[in-house]
Structure 1
């Protein structure tokens, strides 16, 4: 059979209902890693939801326990020929809170529901649907090749991505020999847009910055004390404005990345950020001056205010608050001196009259990406073009954060991400969904990639690790 047969076979799994039935079975597992008591569901998803499916693909698999007592990991492996290339794949079985009762038409987040072009359900986009697409494509290639893949394949599925993948690096480095491969290929996050296939090579990092103003216990009457007592909320607002202005532009050089390279500018010149009708319109005159929307989103840093609190907004008292708090997040690209950020923020605030603002770091994710000149990038782009007739968007990294550094730096692998959702998928919110049209195309894309990988003997592969 041919490459075209493999691509058609992958798409047929959607037409027949086989893919959606399997996805529904996986969505039913309430794998909310952020919710206490979810351990049984996380383990069951791996044991009952995935291990039998991997066994049907002739993968051997086993569970790996978390070294800190978090959710377990599933490692699956298929060995065919030592002379063939080996690909390592990744997915996560955990999801965010289901948010029952908040979905449109009171949809059940723990079942898939098809409505028009959308397939609703918690995890359809993030990430059960995406690793299910890749597994279905493997099945189609295997069928087209008479029970063979043409390459060796490994999978690691974690159940703690939504809590920051706390043990993933430790687990992967402990399994370094077992996870050795020539290429890392995985799917998570959104495409550039629903109608354009996308490759991204890594991710932006994230650092949460807590700002706390604690002047005194309790609040004091604004009539009796107004004008003579410092207001914690006013001070906090001024401190934030000292870091990022009213147009979202960062005011501190240490928060910014190095100059955008000509190579990245050239690649992003072909990338247009164009929200669909049901997505928010881009804000005019927002963000760093002199950059395109694509450069701001994929090649620059942003400082966002995530939350603020002072007093009781639901029932405000006529009183001056004694304390105020805010959580900001710096999204940053490779090259940012992230180790210097907190001290730089603290010094900047001190120098501008905000010495009373306490600054501390919290949750952090690393930034990482594969070099543009990796031959795997061109190989993947050509495969996708051959399958779809479209030139994929190639992004240096996607705007959010993923544990890409575990694979690119920890394991030393070239990393290629091919996402199967789109920006309006409502992940992490009610009404999470995937699109049938994107799913159909994604099944074909992955079947084409896997077929092409099997056509390349290891001594002719585009790179080696």
Structure 2
């Protein structure tokens, strides 16, 4: 029994083609949670595919109905070896975004894995069937190397609605809080910092979407007859946006800005490089908060984005002053941001600048989370990854995007360790989604080593773990 044997078993699982065979079978399930007629398929993925594998690993399993009506079910599974051992909660999601079948490059299809060189194409390969399949396979490798024991207790939560905003996930975790109690969350989703660099991230930025709208009158009026006499809502709204964020992307509303970046976060980001990969856009050096490095701007700070702006008829403009204008906006934010009072902050700012006619509609939001990079669980995970790969691990205090991590960090109160097995150019959510074969192979090795170490030298959570930070 040895760590090396677990990693060798995981490597053989890749090289034999067994992992690819399993993933291809899972990709064939059309688990598009955005489609209302996929309920049977969402359930079948759990009952016919994932539950049998979990049971083969020694888990007891059950299907839990979603408390959110019309949303996909959950798989809850438990494998208990000893009360004295640490317990890990492993999360994944089996649903995918729409296939967009006709938009895939021939001869690719979203519903089967096609291998071209290093790329494994198929819907869900990267998000998230490939990633949770890696973690389940790694558990099997540890069981094989440790004589049928993991050396820890394991719980599994697979949802089927992440791509529609994880409806019911928080409620299910509230309802089954004791059943899901653990010492740490270890999960995989999202991309690595770069394809060849193993990555750990510890939470995610929050996001809140809102709409600014200005409706001044009924109908448009001829710009020759009325130009200079009628207020143009597009001009007003453009000035509204310019008052919120300046010409280089700096947020101008104090209530939408974060607190200073903690020293531990700065240290973690000191050796991080953003971009530079295949298909990545060039980073604009003169954009965003001055005095911050590019990694600090995306992983340690807030960003204000205008997602869409409309007035009149952009496709076929006419010589008329429009009657209304609107802009869809988004704030991505880190822990410590007063995001829940966003509407009040905006209202006070707009009124103070003479824009009281502009309406604000907050549409949806999700909190930010971040585990302290100095937490013992983080140091443990980094040591494990670096022992397996011989590479320096990239540590991101939080993902730049948003995951339902607040459910695990807040509702369940867990330290959260995310080990992604994809990469930034994977075409996640787009046609031609894919995984990279070498990242799959390394991911299997990483997780086999990590799960082996969980049974050898895990931090004593009740003594050493620090509570995760949640955006208030």
Normalised TM-score (structure 1): 0.96
- Residue in structure 2 matched with residue 13 of structure 1 by the alignment: 13
Cα displacement (A) at 1:119: 1.0
Cα displacement (A) at 1:457: 7.6
* Equivalent-residue separation in structure 1 for 2:233 and 2:215 (angstroms): 7
* Equivalent-residue separation in structure 2 for 1:202 and 1:111 (angstroms): 32
Closer/same/farther in 2, CA of residues 316 and 377 from structure 1, 3 Å limit: same
SS in 2 for 1:364: strand
CA deviations 1:411-462 (Å, max 9, x no partner) are: 1111111111111111121221111111111110000000111124897997
Q: Which sits farther off after the overlay, 275-284 or 323-332?
A: 275-284
SS in 2 for 1:211: strand
Cα displacement (A) at 1:218: 2.5
CA deviations 1:135-159 (Å, max 9, x no partner) are: 1111111111222211110010111
SS in 1 for 2:101: coil
SS in 2 for 1:455: helix
* Equivalent-residue separation in structure 1 for 2:165 and 2:62 (angstroms): 23
Cα displacement (A) at 1:325: 1.6
Q: CA RMSD in A?
A: 1.7
Which consecutive residues of structure 2, in runs of 5 or more, have no partner in the other structure? Answer: 468-472
Q: Does 1:125 align with 2:126?
A: yes
* Equivalent-residue separation in structure 2 for 1:463 and 1:87 (angstroms): 16
Which consecutive residues of structure 1, in runs of 5 or more, have no partner in the other structure? Answer: none
- 2:120–2:434 contact (8 Å) kept in structure 1: yes
* Equivalent-residue separation in structure 2 for 1:124 and 1:364 (angstroms): 27
- Residue in structure 1 matched with residue 470 of structure 2 by the alignment: none
* Equivalent-residue separation in structure 2 for 1:235 and 1:103 (angstroms): 41
Q: Which sits farther off after the overlay, 378-387 or 191-200?
A: 191-200
* Equivalent-residue separation in structure 2 for 1:74 and 1:244 (angstroms): 43
* Equivalent-residue separation in structure 2 for 1:404 and 1:459 (angstroms): 22
Cα displacement (A) at 1:373: 2.9
Cα displacement (A) at 1:107: 2.0
* Equivalent-residue separation in structure 2 for 1:373 and 1:460 (angstroms): 14
* Equivalent-residue separation in structure 1 for 2:173 and 2:235 (angstroms): 46
Cα displacement (A) at 1:106: 5.4
- Residue in structure 1 matched with residue 184 of structure 2 by the alignment: 183
Closer/same/farther in 2, CA of residues 430 and 459 from structure 1, 3 Å limit: closer
Cα displacement (A) at 1:37: 2.1
Q: Does 1:234 align with 2:244?
A: no
- Residue in structure 2 matched with residue 25 of structure 1 by the alignment: 25
CA deviations 1:188-231 (Å, max 9, x no partner) are: 11111111111111111000021111112222222222222222
* Equivalent-residue separation in structure 2 for 1:283 and 1:174 (angstroms): 46
Cα displacement (A) at 1:88: 0.4
* Equivalent-residue separation in structure 1 for 2:68 and 2:457 (angstroms): 40
Q: How does 1:61-100 map to 2 (within 5 A)?
A: 61-69=61-69, 70-100=71-101
Cα displacement (A) at 1:402: 0.9
- 1:245–1:251 contact (8 Å) kept in structure 2: yes
Closer/same/farther in 2, CA of residues 437 and 446 from structure 1, 3 Å limit: same
Normalised TM-score (structure 2): 0.95
Q: Does 1:442 align with 2:431?
A: no
CA deviations 1:47-95 (Å, max 9, x no partner) are: 1121111111111111111112111111011112222111001011111
Q: Does 1:412 align with 2:423?
A: no
* Equivalent-residue separation in structure 2 for 1:29 and 1:307 (angstroms): 34
- 1:376–1:462 contact (8 Å) kept in structure 2: no
Instruction: Kindly tell me the number of residue pairs found equivalent between the two proteins.
Output: 465
- 2:80–2:154 contact (8 Å) kept in structure 1: yes
* Equivalent-residue separation in structure 2 for 1:446 and 1:231 (angstroms): 58
* Equivalent-residue separation in structure 2 for 1:25 and 1:310 (angstroms): 47
CA deviations 1:346-383 (Å, max 9, x no partner) are: 22122222222111211111111222332111111000
Closer/same/farther in 2, CA of residues 400 and 449 from structure 1, 3 Å limit: same
Q: How does 1:250-265 map to 2 (within 5 A)?
A: 250-265=251-266
- 1:127–1:188 contact (8 Å) kept in structure 2: yes
* Equivalent-residue separation in structure 2 for 1:275 and 1:98 (angstroms): 28
Q: How does 1:213-232 map to 2 (within 5 A)?
A: 213-232=214-233
CA deviations 1:270-291 (Å, max 9, x no partner) are: 2111321322121231111110
- 1:34–1:162 contact (8 Å) kept in structure 2: yes
Q: Which sits farther off after the overlay, 141-150 or 312-321?
A: 312-321
Q: Does 1:371 align with 2:379?
A: no
SS in 2 for 1:206: strand
* Equivalent-residue separation in structure 2 for 1:168 and 1:15 (angstroms): 36
* Equivalent-residue separation in structure 2 for 1:26 and 1:64 (angstroms): 20
Closer/same/farther in 2, CA of residues 459 and 221 from structure 1, 3 Å limit: closer
- 1:306–1:329 contact (8 Å) kept in structure 2: yes
Q: How does 1:243-392 map to 2 (within 5 A)?
A: 243-392=244-393
- 1:84–1:458 contact (8 Å) kept in structure 2: no
